[in-house]
Amino acid sequence: MNFSLTSEQETVQKSVRDFVAKEITPFAKEWDQEEKFPWDVWKKMGEVEIISTAVPEEYDGCGMDHITHAIVAEELGYGCSSIRGTYSVQISLVTKTILAWGNEDQKQKYVPRLATGEIMGCYGLTEPNSGSDAASLSTTAREDGDHYILKGNKMWITNANVADVAIIFAKTDPDAGARGITAFLVDKDTPGYSTQEIHEKLGLRASDTGEIILDNVRVPKENMLGPIGKGFRVALSALDNARFTVAAGCVGSAQSALDTSKSYAKERIQFDKPLAGHQLVQQLITNMTVDVECGRLLVYRAGYLKDEGVPNTRETSMAKYYCSEMVNRVAYNAIQVLGGYGFSAEYPVERIYRDARINTLYEGTSQIQQLILGNIELGIPAFK
């Protein structure tokens, strides 16, 4: 096994790292406080091909591998979790799902513009009364000639208010459980489609979040994404992609908290010597360092399997579970190192700590990851 990055991967890492240091990190605090998504920076990311790194070249992407994709997500997570979250939804939940399940017309219509950031996408699975139990969603799709009529609500949707296209999951057969769910591509200007903003979140304040209202939205049958009744499989494949990106982003956020802690510990004098000279502070930093390295290796292993084209749900779920819990531990310990300064917005660990909390919730909670892994390890089929 080779743990070294290729020269191309190192080039991408440096390029994105430099971009983040110049265009993202210095402004992340301001965006968080103002709950403002930086559209100008997002457009620049499209221009320098950060958004399109993992998209095939034939659809205006860079065609790079999953390890490179993880590197991009990690560097974005280092600078601002809100931007990393937007990137994750745009590429992992929306673009890759269209690539995997869409027909050629759908791919040509949406993927190149998603890859360049010209348009924004969102992923409508969660509902007010349907979260971890996604198969219990209540949004319906009633057949009406050459169309389906969608009715229902989606909740906690990243990019909801700014998306040009949404992947909406609805029940075409309300009595068939998971096997009655179908996925649809819905454009924002479709009559009956509207959104409502959600504010005052604990974290990811610079990332758009909202509710989608589907009031008898008339969608042509050619907008069906994948076969009828296979929407749950579409959803699971999308979540496999997103969990990988979330895990990589957690590594970046944790690395940022660790770097801040190390720098502070070397400068802060207590008891006539730097904090770094105190063994219990060294213990905190050591634990943080091991956590970050373990998370990164789990992400890279999942990426390696994805590049090999072999089943990787186990490894992807493991990376998401570990890294989402890990970034919360690291952010907690970072505040412990910084003390009162860590509790204020003067240093980024306060924001990292708030942003970290969502990672154990979305794209499958930590408990859902444990169930997935438990079923796999025990040979229990979760869904056929």
Query: pLDDT tens, 95-105?
Result: 999 999 999 99
- Structure confidence at residue 383 (pLDDT): 55
Architecture of the domain made up of 233-378: Up-down Bundle (1.20)
- CATH class assigned to 7-120: mainly alpha
Dihedral over Cα of 289, 292, 298, 299: its sign? negative
Listed in order, the ranges of the chain carrying CATH 1.20.140.10 are: 233-378
Listed in order, the ranges of the chain carrying CATH 2.40.110.10 are: 122-229
Q: How far apart are CA 28 and CA 83, in angstroms?
A: 9
CATH 3.40.640.10 for domain 122-229, yes or no, is no
Clarify whether 58 is annotated catalytic. no
pLDDT digits (tens, 9 = 90+) for 131-147: 999 999 999 999 999 99
> Which of 239, 253, 241, 197 lies closest to 83, judged by CA?
253
From the list 74, 75, 325, 363, the catalytic residue is: 363
Q: pTM here? A: 0.96
What number of CA atoms fall less than 13 Å from residue 50's CA on the CB side? 28
Strand partners, 166: 122, 186
Q: Which residues of the chain register pLDDT less than 70?
A: 1, 382-384
- Structure confidence at residue 2 (pLDDT): 81
- Structure confidence at residue 316 (pLDDT): 98
Report the b/e string of 118-130 with b at 16+ CB within 10 A.
Answer: ebbbbbbbbbeeb
Residue type, 35: E
258 phi/psi in degrees, rounded to 5:
-65, -45
- Structure confidence at residue 381 (pLDDT): 80
